[in-house]
Amino acid sequence: PDRADDAVPEKQEQLEPLRDRGEDGPLTTNFGTRVDDTDNSLRVGERGPTLLEDFHFREKITHFDHERIPERVVHARGAGAYGHFRPYASLAEYTRADFLQDPNRSTPVFVRFSTVAGSRGSADTVRDVRGFATKFYTREGNYDLVGNNFPVFFIQDAIKFPDFVHAVKPEPHNEIPQAQSAHDTFWDFVSLQPESTHMLMWLMSDRALPRSYRMMQGFGVHTFRFVNAEGRGTFVKFHWKPLLGTHCLVWDECQKLAGQDPDYNRRDLWDAIERGDFPEYELGVQLVSEDDEFAFDFDLLDATKIIPEELVPVRPIGRMVLDRNPDNFFAETEQVAFHTAHVVPGIDFTNDPLLQGRNFSYLDTQLIRLGGPNFEQLPVNRPVATVRNNQRDGYGQHRIHPDHTSYAPNSISGGCPVLASPDAGAYVHYQERVDGAKIRRRSPSFSDHYSQATLFWNSMADWEKEHIVAAYRFELGKVTRREIRERTVEQLNHVDNDLARQVAEGLGLPAPEQAAIPNHGRSSPALSLANPVAGVA
């Protein structure tokens, strides 16, 4: 199939003059002065002290001293690749997003896969969620789809994210990680948070052990909104499907690999691209008409829920090929900055409280991680679309603005950027009507924490169920406090009594009685949608 040859070259063309290929020639300081000796510092006599005057020594050591930047607060370990995306057909009926209009035009992308809990140097094959973040360098600006390999999340509201991450990360007193052998804090937190139950089923399944980033699904998780040229909105969930199929390791393999080849997934991605075996993924969408916002027995704004595919099938809309490894890990994979709020006209948010919080968090963290307000000028982050505004100065400013003025409105400078109309491609926020008092309260429509966990459990083959039970037994077996293990079994009993009994048995706990109100998958495929959109059965 058409692979590398259908790539739009703009991003690589933009990067080319920025690549420092280390031309042949004499060694110099950072300011171009040639250097005759980089092995001996300048000193008084052969055995005397080093001189402050040695500017080459000072510069070399100072630069080295500043090589490290903070790792990402989550998703610190990752691997990235460039590629391109092309839609199968125009999606103009649902979205005005330019990169989804023309099947003959491909859009350059950069993708970063990651683990979540571990630090930069941790092993790849741990039991964890995987990040699947895609930056589309569209003609209308960068669009980031910052997803994971699971379609749901641990919490419903972003305000809990710091608590969740503190519980997941190594314990603060001894910094002993728990990603591989979970300890008390993680299970304490999730056993007190029933909303985590569905996500935990995914985490205890083999989906948490991807065999390869080339064989891993991705999900936008939240319900987003497509908006077409007439301003009509359609709810959308995004799905990436690997063309090689979804394949996982088993726990025993993971543990051995973590010792023998901690770079297993990273190496696999790199090697495949180097040998021309380019990973491919199909992008699919689940589309829900706005009339059907309340047609489900869960809330579309609740990130702990999927839309079952029996209700709304996934419609394939395009294909992505990753065909180029980065030239420099730090410059590209480490400095890339994804953000859920990097949107283009035709793609908008919903009021999902997890998404709303993310829309604040990413820019905020990147301001410190990447050292100030100009990180969008770093080569990997730079849009291929033209950037023009009145933002000025700040640490790391690389743009030279010759204009005399930097404000609007402005009658002095002919160079002042003019405002675009929606017809000329301006982003216009979807005009959703909202009304209500200020409250700190979750909607009751977010309160069913078990039905979809049951749905997941019931969809598993026997051997998959065995792996899930084994994972719960292993992980909870590392928990020192009996009450945390008991609480978890109690939560599982709301999912399935058989599951809870098997886990309890493995932990030496009494078998729980069937929960009073058994909750066996209320998400009934019999639901009929008032206004199904095209492609929906």
* Residues engaged in binding ligand HEM (CB under 6 A): 72-75, 78, 112, 114, 131, 133, 146-148, 153, 158, 161, 221, 303, 336-338, 354, 357-358, 361-362, 365-366, 369
Instruction: Give the closest residue to 298 by CA, choosing from 532, 490, 519, 537.
Output: 519
Structural element, H or E, at residue 285: strand 280-289
To ligand HEM, the closest distance from the beta carbon of 339 in angstroms equals 8
d(CA 375, CA 382) in angstroms, rounded, equals 9
Known catalytic membership, residue 75: yes
Looking at the Cβ atoms of 336 and 504, the one nearer to ligand HEM is 336
To ligand HEM, the closest distance from the beta carbon of 412 in angstroms equals 38
Residues 6+ apart with CB under 8 A from 256: none
Could you tell me if 263 and 185 are in contact, meaning their C-beta atoms sit under 8 angstroms apart?
A: no
Residues 6+ apart with CB under 8 A from 429: 348
Could you tell me if 115 and 128 are in contact, meaning their C-beta atoms sit under 8 angstroms apart?
A: yes
Q: Which residue is nearest to ligand HEM (CB)?
A: 131
Coil, strand, or helix at residue 280?
A: strand
d(CA 2, CA 119) in angstroms, rounded, equals 37
Residue type, 479: V
Instruction: Give the closest residue to 242 by CA, choosing from 341, 322, 145.
Output: 322
d(CA 335, CA 435) in angstroms, rounded, equals 40
d(CA 41, CA 462) in angstroms, rounded, equals 68
To ligand HEM, the closest distance from the beta carbon of 161 in angstroms equals 4
d(CA 311, CA 315) in angstroms, rounded, equals 12
To ligand HEM, the closest distance from the beta carbon of 119 in angstroms equals 13
Structural element, H or E, at residue 85: strand 78-87
Looking at the Cβ atoms of 357 and 417, the one nearer to ligand HEM is 357
To ligand HEM, the closest distance from the beta carbon of 371 in angstroms equals 12
Question: Choosing from 75, 183, 222, 494, which is the catalytic residue?
Answer: 75
Question: Choosing from 142, 148, 149, 381, which is the catalytic residue?
Answer: 148
Structural element, H or E, at residue 283: strand 280-289
How many other CB atoms sit within 10 Å of the CB of residue 174?
A: 6
To ligand HEM, the closest distance from the beta carbon of 273 in angstroms equals 17
To ligand HEM, the closest distance from the beta carbon of 18 in angstroms equals 20
272's tokens: 């495949």
Instruction: Give the closest residue to 81 by CA, choosing from 329, 361, 432, 375.
Output: 329
Structural element, H or E, at residue 324: strand 315-324
Cα separation values, 363 from 109, 357, 358, 371, 421, Å: 20, 11, 9, 12, 26
**Token match 């690549």: residue?**
19
To ligand HEM, the closest distance from the beta carbon of 531 in angstroms equals 27
Q: What share of the chain is helix, strand, coil (3-state, %, to 5)?
A: 30, 15, 55
Q: 534: number of CA atoms within 13 Å, CB side? A: 6
Active site amino acids: 75, 148
